[in-house]
Structure formats: structure tokens, C-alpha cells
A and B are shown apart, each in its own frame.
Chain A
Amino acid sequence: MVMVTKNNQKNKIYQVLIVILVFLIPLFIRNIFFHHVLIMVVLYATLGLAWNLMGGYLGYVSFGHATFFGIGAYTSAILFRNFGVNPWLGIIIGAAIAVTVASLISFPVFGFTLRGHYFAIGTLALGEISRILAENFNYIGGARGILIPLKASSFSIIQFESKLPFFYIFFTFLLLTLLIMNAIVNSKMGYYLQAIREDENVAEALGVNTTKYKHFAFYISAFIVAIVGSFYAQYQLYIDPNMVFGMMISVQMALIAILGGCNTLIGPIIGAMIFIPLSEYIRSFIGGEGRGINLIVLGIVVLIIILFQPQGVAQLIKSFINKEGRNNE
């Protein structure tokens, strides 16, 4: 037991050191594109974590989470542009609307116990429906999208001249999400979600209110994804339906979590650290001429991981740490 607490303390120190290091990195490497990549990594890591609660822990693979991302992005953007509502408030309203939409969907979906492949197909349809709706909804700019009006640089409206403040806000939110997920995973709910994933009938027989916990997981996931959507809109200052409701958003969230390592907290973060820089740097390196080549490279990396490390990259690191631990004993 003494060993364990000692290791825990050591781990905590490492964790704090890593966080401090990440805070300092952008101050030393002052390259705007690098900062952009860091921001995208942080945003996608948060998305992956939120998706992982559903797709990883609960085992309900969703390909429609872009719906909530888009709702978050559009709500705060429209509220700010058309009504002058503070984006921080807009973020909360967007997340609330996303949860409302999630509940409208989850009642029929979980009520008729849509599972496995059917849940994946159902959510895929959901994502596409919301994209098409947004494209044909003129009030929110239709397929042309909307520009968020540029105001003075200020924390209160989440607009900055430099990329650094964005990074720090998004990174703080990532840490917050990580803390929330850690609390959930190590609580009764975390155990229950895993039991539902393994065998819903057994979980139900052992007193797990499976319907309730599925709803909870869906709402929490939608809430966080919507907040990231709002952040993304504030950061880009321009959004269109394909950018925020597009299938690529849903798929990337899922890929990052699955290849990084489902059912782990570190997995989605590692996934984002591998995929986003790869994708962004290849895209910038090849430029407009080679559109899609970054996706080909990504596809190859996905294949390699699926073939050689199907449980995700996080598993590699885990087994390495375990080996280290055993050597130390």
C-alpha cells in the first residue's frame, strides 16, 4: 500500500509538471501556425474526451456528434451577431440547446433500444439531417455561413488579436473536462456505464437503471461538445454548415478517441496529439493543390494503428508503464 501511495504522489507531480510545461510551450515557440495547431489539438482532445464517454465507456458509437458541435457554434455566433449577447452566455445557451436536442433524440433512440450498428446509423442520419437543415435555414445564413463581427480584443467577448489567449482558455477547458471525466469514470456512474457496455441485460438485472445512465452520458457528452463548438466559432470568426455540422467533425471525434484508446482518459488526448498535427501540417505543406492528400496519409496511419495496435495508442504507453513498474519492484 505504501508503494501505491508513493507512486500516486509521483504520478500527481508528473501530471502537474506536464500541465505547466504545456502552459509554457507556446511562450517559447512563438510561431503562429504552431499555435494554431496547438489550439486544434486542444479542441479535438476535448471533443474526443466527450465522445469517449458515449462511444468508449458506454459503448454507444455515435457518428452524429457534429450536431451538438454545430448547435453550440451557431447558437453563440447568432446570439452575438444578431442580438449582441455575450458569447460566454451564448456558450451556456448553446450547450443547453444541445442538451435539449439530445434529450429529444435520446428518448426515442433509447426507448426503442437502438443498439450497436443501428445506433451508429441512427446518429449518422442525425448528423446529416442537421447539416442539411442548417444549409437550408436562411436566418442563420444557409450554406453561405455567417461571419462573427470583429470587435475590440477582449476576454469578455472571447476575441483576441493573438492566438495565445485562445489557447489558454481552451486548454483550461480541456483540463476541466478531464477532471469532470475523471470524476465520472471513477464514480458509480463510470462503473455503470462500463457494465452497460459489456452486457445491458446483466447490468439491468444487477440493478443498473440502464435507460437513465444512457441518457445522462448522452447529455454530458452533448453539453461538452456544444461548448467546444462555441469556442471553435469564436476562434474562427466564420462558420458554415459543412464546417461545424459536417460528417468529418463527427468522424474525426470518433477516430481520435478510438485510435488514441477508448475507455481511457488519456487516449483521446494522445489521439488528438497524433492526428491533428499530422493532418494540419500535411495540409499546410501540400497546400491547396493537393486537397485530400492529408486524408490519404491519415487513412494510412489509421490502418497501421488498427492492424498493429487495435486497442489504441494509449494501450502501448500503458503496457510500457506497467513494464517499468514491474522492473522497479
Chain B
Amino acid sequence: MNNALLEVHNVTKRFGGLTANKDISFNISKGQITGLIGPNGAGKTTLFNLITGTAIEGYSRLPDEGHVIFKGNNITGLKPNSICKQGMVRTFQNSRCLDSMTALGNVMIGALVRTSLINDAKKKAVKYLETVGLKDKRNIISSNFTVADKKKLEIARALATEPELLLLDEPMSGLTPLELKEEVNLIKDINQKGITIFIIEHVMEALMPIADYIIVLDSGEKIASGTPKEVVKNPKVIKAYMGVDYAIIS
């Protein structure tokens, strides 16, 4: 049986003369943690936008070529809200909270996808805030949160939509070592509850131990994929990350 939860087939996206994603194909297997790495400007977030149908400032949100299959259905071109209803949800790179709302309100917005009753949503929201350890801060306006708490809040909010696939865009950047450890544990816990995770990350040492599979992008192209061990030994990856000289030495 096909074990792929998400299939990306030959996706290409051009921004004028710049090709942000070029003919990218891969599968994400159910239950795994898949990492997406690559230097700045490699097209990682663009790929996330295309998969989830997120609006792209100044351009169409549709891929120029290729298509995205989620749970066997073609979801290319669907709006993010219907993709979310099908069980795929994302977070954003720079922790975008619904600033004037409380933490509880933020998470309730996620929970309201599955219920129309405010009290149900409230109960669920408290549960997910507890999962990420923000239960005591639930009545605080979210714009007052620290970076780490904002990231947790975003994860709680995404979890409240009860996803099968969770896309995390740089959930670990800008965290202190202690916060990083917490965040990694949180992601592992979520995965163990049966949620498949697709994660963009720059902090390699945090991602490598938890990822089952890694995809590497550079200048819009997929240059490598495989287990973390395979990927770090790939000369193309080393070259992309460290520069040409380093690649020759190793």
C-alpha cells in the first residue's frame, strides 16, 4: 500500500525571472518527521506556501506546474481553509499570533474548525494550551508573549485544528538552548501522538536527531534527500551549506 500522506509532484513556481521552486517531487510518509533544510532563499517557505495554498504577496498562490496530493486527493489550488479542514495545517516563520487576542482566543480559532460551539472550543483550547505548557498564561494577550511562547502558542493553535499533517516553519529559530530542548521534546511528543510532521529548520543539530527523513533544497532545486546520516555525508549538501572549499576537504 501507498504509505504517503502527502505527495508533491513536479512543483515549479516562478517569481518573474526567479524560479523559487524548480520541478520538486517528494513524498511524506505517515507518522514520520520529515525535515526540509536548505540555505536562506532556497525556496523552503515558498514550497510550504504552495503545499498549503497560502497567499503569496504580489503573485498567484498556485504553482506554475505540478500538483500536490494529500491523502490521495488532489489539493492543488484549494484555499488554505479547506486544506486545513482536510487535516493539514501550518505555522508561520516569524510566529504570527493574532496579536490583540488572548492565548486562549488564538487557540480557540483553531479549535473552531471542528466545532461551532464556543464552550467546546474553549475546552479544547485549554487542553492544547496545556499540551504546550501555556495553560497558566491563557488569559494573557498574545502580543505580550516571548518568542518561545509565541512559537508554542502557534503549535497549540495548529494542533487545535486536529491535523494529520503538521507543517512547522522554523519552529526552533531564535530560541535559547533550554527553550530549544523543550521545543524539540514537544515536537517529538506531538509526533508520538500520531501526527505526521513536516518541518523547515535551520538548527541542524536539533533537527538531525529527531528527523526520520530529510529533504535538501538549494536555489529552488531539490539537491538531496534521505536519512539524516545519508544527507550530511552528501557532498552536494556540504557544498550548499559550507561552500566549495569545505566540500573538497571532506
Chain A residues proximal to chain B, CB less than 8 Å = 113, 186-188, 191-192, 194-195, 197-211, 263
Q: Is the interface of A mostly helix, strand, loop or mixed?
A: helix
- Residue ID in chain A nearest B160 by CB atoms: A206
Could you tell me the distance between the alpha carbons of A87 and B113 in the complex, rounded to whole angstroms? Answer: 42
Q: B228 within 8 Å of A by Cβ?
A: no
Of the listed stretches B10-18, B83-91, B231-239, chain A binds B83-91
B99 at the A interface (CB under 8 A)? yes
Chain A residues near B121 (CB-CB < 8 A): 188, 191
- State how many angstroms separate the Cβ of B127 from the closest Cβ of chain A: 17
Supposing A188-B118, A194-B101, A198-B98 touch, asked if A205 and B108 sit within 8 A by C-beta, the answer is no
B154 → A minimal CB distance (Å): 9
Interchain CB contact (< 8 A) of A205 among B52, B100, B116: B52
A40 to chain B, nearest CB (A): 32
Contacting residues, chain A, for B84 (C-beta < 8 A): 205-207
Q: Using a Cβ–Cβ cut-off of 8 Å, how many residues does chain B contribute to the interface with A?
A: 30
- Select one of B54, B81, B92, B97 contacting A207, CB under 8 A: B81
- When chains A and B are docked, how far (Å) is the Cα of A192 from the Cα of B105? 10
B118 touches A204 (CB 8 A): no
Other A-B pairs beyond A201-B80, A202-B96, 8, CB < 8 Å: A191-B118, A194-B105, A202-B92, A204-B79, A204-B81, A206-B113, A207-B85, A208-B81
| Nearest residue, chain B, Cβ from A263 | B100
| Residue from the list B82, B100, B109, B116 in contact with A206, Cβ < 8 A | B109
CB distance from B98 to the nearest CB of A (A): 4
* Given the contacts A195-B101, A199-B96, A210 and B109 also touching, CB distance less than 8 Å: no
Q: How far is the CA of A306 from the CA of B210 in the complex (A)?
A: 52
Interface residues as binary, B151-163 with A (CB distance below 8 Å gives 1, 0 otherwise): 0000001100100
Which residues does chain B contribute within 8 Å of A199, judged by CB atoms? 96, 98-99
In the complex, the answer to whether A207 meets B100 with C-beta atoms within 8 Å is no
